[in-house]
Structure 1
Amino acid sequence: MRGVSVEGEVMRGRPKKTWDEITVLDLGHFQGKSPSSEHRGVSALSHFQGKSPSSEHSGVSALSHVQGKSPSSEHRGVSALSHVQGKSPSSEHRGVSALSHVQGKSPSSEHRGVSALSHVQGKSPSSEHRGVSALSHVQGRKPSSVHRGTRHSKNFTKDSSHPGGKPSATGIRMALYFLRRVVTLVLRRFFWGREMLLGGAYPPLPPVEDSILLQSAQTLARWIRQGKVSAEAVVTAYVRRARAVNATVNAVVDDRFNEALEEARDVDRRLTALPEIERRQLEYTQPLLGVPFTCKEIVWVEGLSLTGGLVTRKCMKAPADAEVVARMRKAGGIPLCVTNIPELSMWIETSNSVYGRTNNPYDATRTPGGSSGGEAALLSCCATPLSVGTDIGGSIRLPSYCCGVFGHKPSSRLISTKNIGVYPEKLLNTRTSVVGPMTRSARDLAWALEVMAPEAAKDMRSRVASTDLRNIKIWSVGGRISLLGEWMRWLCGRGRFTFAMLLMATLQYLHKSNIDPRDSPHYWKPMQEAMLRIIREGSVLILPTLPQPPYYHYELIPNLHDACHCALFNATEMPSTAVPMGLTPSGLPMGLQVVAAPGQDHLCLAVAQALEDRFGGWVSPAPVRV
């Protein structure tokens, strides 16, 4: 079943699409005569204006905006976007990421490698760039831009070799690509075999049999205010569902189900006594009234578990609510439970020595991601309508991708981080660590932001609704421990920490630095400035959240570098929204992320809503029988 999140309707959409059917993200806006557009890859968005345009895209992400007559653009690689204006332009991009904007006369630009950013204006310019991503802005007429390989010289061509018998850049690139594919295949088979031998058996997810579970959070809030459904019925449905699915996903670590049911009954009694006019006002004063929500375990919920996944903190309880939880309670929300995390929320899978391992709802042998993996798994299973997560290096977006839901990492300091985590607040980096919402509906994200940050995110929904997507430029692309002693304990089967946490601690120990860690945000200032020269106001960057479908448990340990797709935007303090894009042929989620400049959260959310409208968004991992 495919989720659509239309208010008042069951989140049911078009029949499930496979990878081949959703090879392309096509959000085209066509104006003119006889347009033709062909897209290949995970994502392609085009806006064509003029006569007889033709665009072909191949790769993971391709977005083009073409204006003029008879343009032709071909993009190949992981990410390619072009904006071409003028006559008879031709652009070819190959590599991991290539973006070009061509306007003017006879420019020529070659970009090879993973990173190149150029802005060329004038006649007959030539620019060569090498690095992690290729972005070019060329102005002129009859432009030609070719992006190839990893390294090159001015005389290097596609099939040539360097003097002296040295291998060509293309050959090296292809060899490295082949090597990475072989290593990935070997590792995947190894971890698949490990799961088959040691993973254990888990019961399948029970079917969804209550239509309440399929509604968006906004719809539930409106129905409760209007008396179409009682708050008690809503909370009861989610309590039953959470208990039913937890045997499969192991997401809930501590709950307050009985207290939540009593609070829901209080809401119903209060609504019964209110006149109709005052009920309507609740939409603005208490928009979340009667709607249940859940939080990851390091988000303080008074009286619930606050171990941080550490054995040394077992049985610790939160003495108060986090500020974001207090705001949601004030808006009428009802907390249900807290969910599983990795130790200290510092890993990209969800497993610890206190509560065990959380599983992906689509395939129990796969990881739900981390560190908000418990929230993402519970949300995807229809066991909560709204989740509160945190993100310091992809901890909202990675689980959202792995579990096929929406998640938004807001701009730095948009939402209060007070009483988040188990470490002293003075050590909490409020620039890179943020709190954000996770939902099954893209439209619930802006609504939740208004509740979680009533001042900073005021009128977020109206800002999203007023965003004209045709005007957006889219680019693609505790105390000290003995480390040796803890390794010995782990080798003897009595470890207090997981292998992932010990590995990270060892790497940190080996990489000693005299730089004050409190200055760490400034390490990324040059990168942030470079990114902001490209992603300015009115622009978004679309790129994969992870380079492959959800991993087997522990497979991310040798693939830690894959998380850099997300961590980069924590360091540069940019908002980013994870968007599900359907399922692969094997039934696993796939998706992408939309990034904007700091303070431009509404652009991310507007594009996410457009993608949901076009492709359906969340798909239920369990059978639906309603």
Structure 2
Amino acid sequence: MEKLQILKMDASSIATAIKKKQITSVEAVTVFIERIKEINPSINAVVEDRFSEALQEAHEADEQLQNNKSVGRLHGVPISIKECLHVKGMKTTGGLEHRQDLIYQEDAEVVDQLKQEGAIILGKTNTPALCFCQETDNKLYGRTNNPWDPTKTAGGSSGGEGALLAAGGAAVGIGSDVGGSIRFPAHFNGVIGFKPGNATVSVEGHFPAVQHDLQKRMLTVGPMGKSVQDMQLIYEILSHSPVKPQTLREFKIEILPLNPGYPLSTKTGQLLGQLANFLEKIYNVQQIMPPYFRDSALIWQEVMSINGSKLVENEAFNNDRSGLLRSFLREKLNQRTKVHPYLSWAIMGAKMFKPSRKRIMEITDILQQGDELLKTYLDKRLLILPVYYQSALEHGQVFKEIFSIRKTYLQYMPYTAYANVWGLPSLTVPVGEDEKNMPIGVQIISGTGNEDAIFRLGKLLTKRFRGYKIAPVEER
């Protein structure tokens, strides 16, 4: 089998090919290792590899098949893991220099689950510092570039995963999402990503952990890759249960209408219109703004600001006596500090928007009421929302827009905040490209329990529209 053919294959196809002995695990792992070596100097996606161990495990996987031993659903398949998840024998740094020598001796629960199914980990991928930004850059490992255009952002916080998978550097990968961290990179890099619903997948072994119950409902771990089929396979492994079969025709499909309060690029708006025109020929399609959409961005900001992100600040600055404000100002004066200015600014924002105890109680009541309403509303509904108002921007621009709280934040953040605030499963699929061939994706959202319908619609859209394409990365 040719190298390019293997690189384009999803995890499900590679697993099948290995079991049928059409390719060996060693061949598959070798092809992806070579690809990473080719592309990583340009995109800086993989920050720590385990190539020698992966090849040894691939040899063992092939021997197991030769000896007719029972094997898992990902037997011999090469995968990648976001840096924030513990992998035995590897670092979990959060992109912080003072953690660069910390090696963990236990796997995160999701990593252990994947290993039990036979997956082989190639390496860990880059994140922003403490996963606290929608762009991927940190002081320890540097910036990750979009493989379709290295001057553009790969998104965050699972930006390393998005860039690596778009460039064909792994069969499938694992990211995490507390505020669009799977969906931004999936959208910007043109890959598929699935943010599971609240409490359906373990977050044990994720760094940093979240402390408050309102924050816990927003953090999930999920797959990123090349096909919706892989998203379903990995989700079923991580959630310990197969999805319940559903009939797509029983669902209403609601597409976010164009609204001047939530502006979209011309191309993004056109793509939503094309989706509506295609789907309304088959299904019951309406253009409606879902309940609580307007409130979601502000609620997300307040929930993430509980306690003023004190634990994040303590972890970021450790024994650094320079302090938050001084560190940020020194960076503005081009004086190097140990904490990335994206993180410093995010922490300052959390301090400014820290909710009072009374407000936390109000938010708790709003969420309880909203959970009940949306449970009924989403019973037989699928929502289609943008991920962001346009395709990938130049490095630093998304950070400026998201952290401009009183201006563009409230226009652009509701798209991704919605699924986090309400703990909903959300699948991102690439449906088109802009004028410069940069990918554009959309989200498919519904209630927990409707994953099968989400995946069915995702498969339909990836078949009819763009789907996954491998990025032709230029070597440095």
Alignment of 1:72-91 (within 5 A): none
The residue matched to 1:324 in structure 2 has which SS?
A: helix
Question: Is 1:487 paired with 2:328?
Answer: yes
- After superposition, the Cα gap between the structure-2 partners of 1:306 and 1:223, relative to the gap in structure 1 and judged at 3 Å, is same
Given residue 459 of structure 1, which amino acid in structure 2 is its aligned partner? Answer: P
1:556 to 394, 398, 401: 398
Question: Is 1:511 paired with 2:353?
Answer: yes
Alpha-carbon distance in structure 2 between the residues aligned to 1:319 and 1:427: 27
Alpha-carbon distance in structure 2 between the residues aligned to 1:450 and 1:410: 11
* Deviation of 1:210 (Å): 2.8
Question: Is 1:379 paired with 2:165?
Answer: yes
Aligned 8 A contact 1:255 1:336 in 2: yes
Question: Is 1:472 paired with 2:238?
Answer: no
Alignment of 1:403-414 (within 5 A): 403-414=189-200
Given residue 35 of structure 2, which amino acid in structure 1 is its aligned partner? Answer: R
Q: Considering fraction of residues, name the structure with more helix.
A: 2
Aligned 8 A contact 1:248 1:359 in 2: yes
Aligned 8 A contact 2:247 2:453 in 1: no
Which residue number in structure 1 is paired with residue 459 of structure 2?
609
Aligned 8 A contact 1:489 1:496 in 2: no
1:499 to 335, 341, 347: 341
Alpha-carbon distance in structure 2 between the residues aligned to 1:504 and 1:224: 45
Aligned 8 A contact 1:524 1:571 in 2: no
* Deviation of 1:432 (Å): 0.7
Alignment of 1:202-601 (within 5 A): 209-274=3-68, 282=71, 286-423=72-209, 429-454=215-240, 458-460=241-243, 463=244, 466-477=245-256, 478=315, 479=318, 482-490=323-331, 491-515=333-357, 522=364, 524-525=366-367, 528-529=370-371, 532=374, 535-560=377-402, 561=409, 562-601=412-451
Which segment is superposed worse, 599-608 or 229-238?
599-608
* Deviation of 1:612 (Å): 1.2
* Deviation of 1:434 (Å): 0.3
Structure index of larger Rg: 1
Aligned 8 A contact 1:340 1:355 in 2: yes
1:554-579, Cα deviation, whole Å (9 max, x unpaired): 00133112233101210111111101
Alpha-carbon distance in structure 1 between the residues aligned to 2:150 and 2:184: 17
The residue matched to 1:210 in structure 2 has which SS?
A: helix
Given residue 320 of structure 1, which amino acid in structure 2 is its aligned partner? Answer: E
- After superposition, the Cα gap between the structure-2 partners of 1:395 and 1:496, relative to the gap in structure 1 and judged at 3 Å, is same
Which residue number in structure 2 is paired with residue 16 of structure 1?
none
1:314-351, Cα deviation, whole Å (9 max, x unpaired): 22222311000001001111111000000110100000
- After superposition, the Cα gap between the structure-2 partners of 1:613 and 1:513, relative to the gap in structure 1 and judged at 3 Å, is closer
Give aligned-pair identity as a percent. Answer: 31
Alpha-carbon distance in structure 1 between the residues aligned to 2:140 and 2:213: 24
- After superposition, the Cα gap between the structure-2 partners of 1:387 and 1:510, relative to the gap in structure 1 and judged at 3 Å, is same
- After superposition, the Cα gap between the structure-2 partners of 1:566 and 1:239, relative to the gap in structure 1 and judged at 3 Å, is same
The residue matched to 1:338 in structure 2 has which SS?
A: strand
* Deviation of 1:488 (Å): 4.0
1:422-481, Cα deviation, whole Å (9 max, x unpaired): 347778943110000111111111111122222xxx222xx3xx4322221011212486
Alignment of 1:6-25 (within 5 A): none
CA RMSD of aligned residues (A): 2.4
Alpha-carbon distance in structure 2 between the residues aligned to 1:318 and 1:572: 32
Alpha-carbon distance in structure 2 between the residues aligned to 1:524 and 1:568: 14
Alpha-carbon distance in structure 1 between the residues aligned to 2:204 and 2:465: 37
* Deviation of 1:520 (Å): 8.9
The residue matched to 2:115 in structure 1 has which SS?
A: helix
Alpha-carbon distance in structure 1 between the residues aligned to 2:234 and 2:362: 30
Which residue number in structure 2 is paired with residue 76 of structure 1?
none
Alpha-carbon distance in structure 2 between the residues aligned to 1:398 and 1:291: 25
Aligned 8 A contact 2:214 2:364 in 1: no
Aligned 8 A contact 1:535 1:596 in 2: no
* Deviation of 1:531 (Å): 5.8
* Deviation of 1:587 (Å): 0.9
**Any unmatched runs of 5+ in structure 1?**
1-9, 11-207
The residue matched to 1:559 in structure 2 has which SS?
A: helix
1:348-401, Cα deviation, whole Å (9 max, x unpaired): 000001100000011101001100000010001010011100000100011100
- After superposition, the Cα gap between the structure-2 partners of 1:224 and 1:394, relative to the gap in structure 1 and judged at 3 Å, is same
Aligned 8 A contact 2:168 2:471 in 1: no
Which residue number in structure 1 is paired with residue 472 of structure 2?
622
Misfit runs of 4+, over 6 Å: 424-428, 516-521
Alpha-carbon distance in structure 1 between the residues aligned to 2:180 and 2:47: 22
Aligned 8 A contact 2:187 2:430 in 1: yes
Given residue 364 of structure 1, which amino acid in structure 2 is its aligned partner? Answer: P
Aligned 8 A contact 1:379 1:405 in 2: yes
* Deviation of 1:526 (Å): 6.0
Alpha-carbon distance in structure 2 between the residues aligned to 1:427 and 1:250: 34
Alpha-carbon distance in structure 1 between the residues aligned to 2:249 and 2:380: 10
The residue matched to 2:134 in structure 1 has which SS?
A: coil
- After superposition, the Cα gap between the structure-2 partners of 1:264 and 1:521, relative to the gap in structure 1 and judged at 3 Å, is farther
Alpha-carbon distance in structure 2 between the residues aligned to 1:437 and 1:392: 14
Alpha-carbon distance in structure 1 between the residues aligned to 2:111 and 2:168: 21
Choose between structure 1 and 2 for higher RCO, CA contacts under 8 A separated by at least 6 residues: 2
Aligned 8 A contact 2:172 2:224 in 1: yes
- After superposition, the Cα gap between the structure-2 partners of 1:541 and 1:424, relative to the gap in structure 1 and judged at 3 Å, is closer
Alignment of 1:68-107 (within 5 A): none
- After superposition, the Cα gap between the structure-2 partners of 1:622 and 1:492, relative to the gap in structure 1 and judged at 3 Å, is closer
The residue matched to 2:350 in structure 1 has which SS?
A: helix
Alignment of 1:99-178 (within 5 A): none
Alpha-carbon distance in structure 2 between the residues aligned to 1:552 and 1:442: 28
Alpha-carbon distance in structure 1 between the residues aligned to 2:354 and 2:177: 25
Aligned 8 A contact 1:372 1:396 in 2: yes
- After superposition, the Cα gap between the structure-2 partners of 1:267 and 1:534, relative to the gap in structure 1 and judged at 3 Å, is same
The residue matched to 1:387 in structure 2 has which SS?
A: strand
- After superposition, the Cα gap between the structure-2 partners of 1:209 and 1:292, relative to the gap in structure 1 and judged at 3 Å, is closer
Aligned 8 A contact 1:582 1:618 in 2: no
Alpha-carbon distance in structure 1 between the residues aligned to 2:3 and 2:92: 33
Alpha-carbon distance in structure 1 between the residues aligned to 2:468 and 2:139: 31
